[in-house]
Amino acid sequence: MYKKAFPFFAIMFSSLICEEPVQLDPIIITAAKTDQIETETIKIQSPHLVDYFQNEPGVLIQKTGPAQGSPYIRGFTGYHVMMLHDGFKLNNSIFRSGPNHYWNTINGSTVDKLVISKGSVSARYGSGAVASVEAFSRTELQKEFYTRLASADSSVMGTLKYDFKLGNTTIYLDGTSNHFGDMDVAKLGELEGTGFDEYGSGIKITHPVQNGLLTLSNQFFKQNNASRWHSTVDNNQSWEGTTTGSHLTRDFDQKHNLSYLRYDHDDFFVGYSRQSQDEIEDNTRSSTDVRLSGFNVDTDGFIGQWNAIPNTHLGYEVYIDHVDSFYTRNGVVRDDTPVGSDSTYIDSGLYADHTIWLGETELRLGARYSYAKVDIGKYLNANSGLVESLEKDWSNLSFGLSAHHDFDHLNVYGGINQGFRAPNLSDLSIYGTARSGVQSQPAPELEDEKFTSYELGFKAGSNAHNIEVSTYYTDIKNAIDSTVISGNTFKINSSGKAYVEGFDVVVHNEFKTFFSRTFLSYQYGKDKGKDDYLSRINPFTLGNSLRYQASKKWNLQLDNRYVAKADKLSSGDQTDTQRIPPGGTPAYFLSSIVFNYIYKERSTFSLGVENIFDEDYRVHGSGQNSLGRNFYTAISLAL
């Protein structure tokens, strides 16, 4: 493995030639260093939205199942990472602490831009925003058909976009249908039962109104028969010592629907959204143990921001969740539902930020008052054994300070930002199965989590040759964690103190026909009280993308990534024996290549090979190995 990796390691040390003063892309300092990802070329190699982050330093893409991906951004995932679509929050009160699969209910094929804030942004987005990802739909007219075919999972993906204007009104239409067959991985072969289907549709209508733009949109996405494969009897081969599954089936159907109305004016914007998140889990453990559970979350969202004062933003957000859930076992209705039913959860806040320039130094100050309230209609109290109700609320004032200074060949940035997360329905009322079969219980006594993030970094060089280094440390108080109370049952508590620290390095070199981007990331985190590692710590990662641009018509790109052994396991990781081997997830090296031919604007042909050396590997914490050698082709055709 190391011999294969050696040529790629050498690229890391490419020289930095300062031909001209550095003119960097704007750093958006809401409360943290922010990176922007243009998705057009990434879509060719990445079937789902979460896969777009795979070459981002400090980000681990964990997949409980092939349809169930969740990014760990600098050690945080689930309800600690705020996901927004066109400015509206996707997160709701049933998101759990660990990896969840709701990210895959955003249609990545129709997303044109992603913005990642890797540090705390609670001063802007409130509860749970220890990091954030903003997805934006297209704003330019497109008429195109996109398809991607791949060999290792027999996948067929297709998206049609058809946009047009009627007078001053612009209409954006799209439809998506994707089929994924069973995965073919190195050594273990075909993983029966890993296939699934998904489809979606979208419409967006914009119309100029009085110095502003009125937008009406609906986005729908659905997945069928997405297996939590590691739990099932299809997982019948041990890998590096993992345990096999025992359930006959554990399939999920899930769908997400987002409708919104938004008015953007020169001096302000206001918006209203209505979202619906539905999930049904069909879990047959044996012929005499058939379980069906699920929930529905309807969310009303109200947002607004005033920008009339120079360099200042004042805004508000109110999201109201209406939650119902159910659970039957062998047809008998039970009270231990996945989350409390007949429930309401309010997440609201007022925020302000102001930018000040002191010479060449830009300072940005942010503050937010957050208020959250839960009203659980009914849930089963594990202590009393009775069906009870619960009302509780939390409030918080979070601040953020970020700075950015420009020198001739150097940009320096840093920040100190507070974070906050109020317990949600998942914390307070959850009954369910996590990791490799452990059972969770409600914890209605929880307090809110508090975070303080520190970051310092710089970017030096020229436009063509530069290096960026960022270091970070996040301190956590009242960390919500789980404690085993008996056998395979655990309960959530909020008494912990923990931290995450690390650094990321990115080296970019641009020559006449060659482009190189090399990154490395290191991460470490511990629970101070338990003297235990935090779960799913991202192992040391070193990656490189090398592109040869022969002409404007075609290019060839080689991607390499080395991931070290993930052996810093929490006590919970050590019990997750279906997903994590004893002693940790083995190291691996991946190499992929793709040829892209552009025959006219927005019409491209791509042919690629992923995992060229057919590496036998698993991304740390995932429920199955990743694809073996995978041949694929992607075609975008302008209509």
Euclidean distance between CA atoms 262 and 332, whole angstroms = 44
Across 76-90, average pLDDT: 92
Q: Which residues, listed in sequence order, are joined to residue 84 by a DSSP beta bridge?
A: 89, 134
pTM for the predicted model, two decimal places: 0.91
- Cα 634 to Cα 145: distance, rounded to the nearest angstrom: 11
**CA gap 415, 124 in Å, rounded:** 14
Q: Quick check: 222 and 254 in contact, CB under 8 A? A: yes
How many residues can be counted in the chain? 639
- Residue 308 pairs in a beta bridge with none
**Please, are residues 253 and 224 in contact by the beta-carbon 8 Å criterion?**
yes
User: How many domains would you assign to the chain?
Assistant: 1
Q: Are 501 and 56 in contact (CB under 8 A)?
A: no
Predicted confidence band of residue 205 (pLDDT cuts 50, 70, 90): very high
Question: What is residue 434's predicted lDDT score, i.e. its pLDDT?
Answer: 56
194 with 624: CB under 8 angstroms? yes
> Are 66 and 449 in contact, with CB atoms under 8 Å apart?
no
Position 68 scores a pLDDT of 87
Q: Residue 450 and residue 422: Cα distance in Å, rounded?
A: 9
Q: With bands split at pLDDT 50, 70 and 90, how would you rate the model's confidence at 39?
A: low
Could you give the CA distance from residue 518 to residue 13 in angstroms, rounded to a whole number? 9
pLDDT for res 103: 86
Distance CA 494, CA 224 (A): 35
Contacts of 172 (CB under 8 A, 6+ apart): 137, 138, 141, 142, 161, 163, 202, 203, 204, 205, 206
Mean pLDDT of the chain: 88
Give the pLDDT of residue 443.
74
In this structure, the dihedral spanned by the alpha carbons of residues 461, 134, 427 and 249, taken in order and rounded to 10 degrees, is -110
**Amino acid letter for position 107:** N
Domain residue limits at 408: 2-638
Encode 263-331 in three state secondary structure.
Answer: EEECCEEEEEEEEEEEEEEEEEEECCEEEEEEEEEEEEEEEEEECCCCCEEEEEEEEEEEEEEEEEECC
The residue that leads in pLDDT, 438 or 461, is 461
Please state the separation of Cα 13 from the chain's center in Å: 30
% of the chain surpassing 70 pLDDT: 89
Report the alpha-carbon distance of residue 227 to residue 242 in Å, rounded.
18
- 236 pLDDT above the threshold of 50: yes
pLDDT at 438: 56
Beta bridge mates, 323: 297, 343
Decide if pLDDT at 630 tops 90: yes
Give the range among 120-129, 361-370, 404-413 with minimum mean pLDDT: 120-129
CATH of the domain at 379: 2.40.170.20
pLDDT of residue 580: 95
Amino acid letter, residue 110: T
How many CB atoms are located within 10 Å of the residue 168 CB? 9
Looking at the predicted structure, is the pLDDT value of residue 11 above 80? no
CA–CA dist 112, 135 (Å, integer): 8
Q: Is beta strand 343-358 parallel, antiparallel or unpaired with respect to 332-333?
A: unpaired
Cβ atoms < 10 Å from Cβ of 289: 12
pLDDT of amino acid 104? 86
Rounded distance, CA 392 to CA 394, Å? 7
Residues 6+ apart with CB under 8 A from 636: 144, 145, 146, 602, 603, 604
Question: Which pLDDT does position 32 carry in this prediction?
Answer: 47
Place of tokens 């439809």: 175
> pLDDT confidence of 489, banded at 50, 70, 90?
low
Report whether pLDDT(5) > 50. no
Q: What is the identity of the amino acid at 113?
A: K
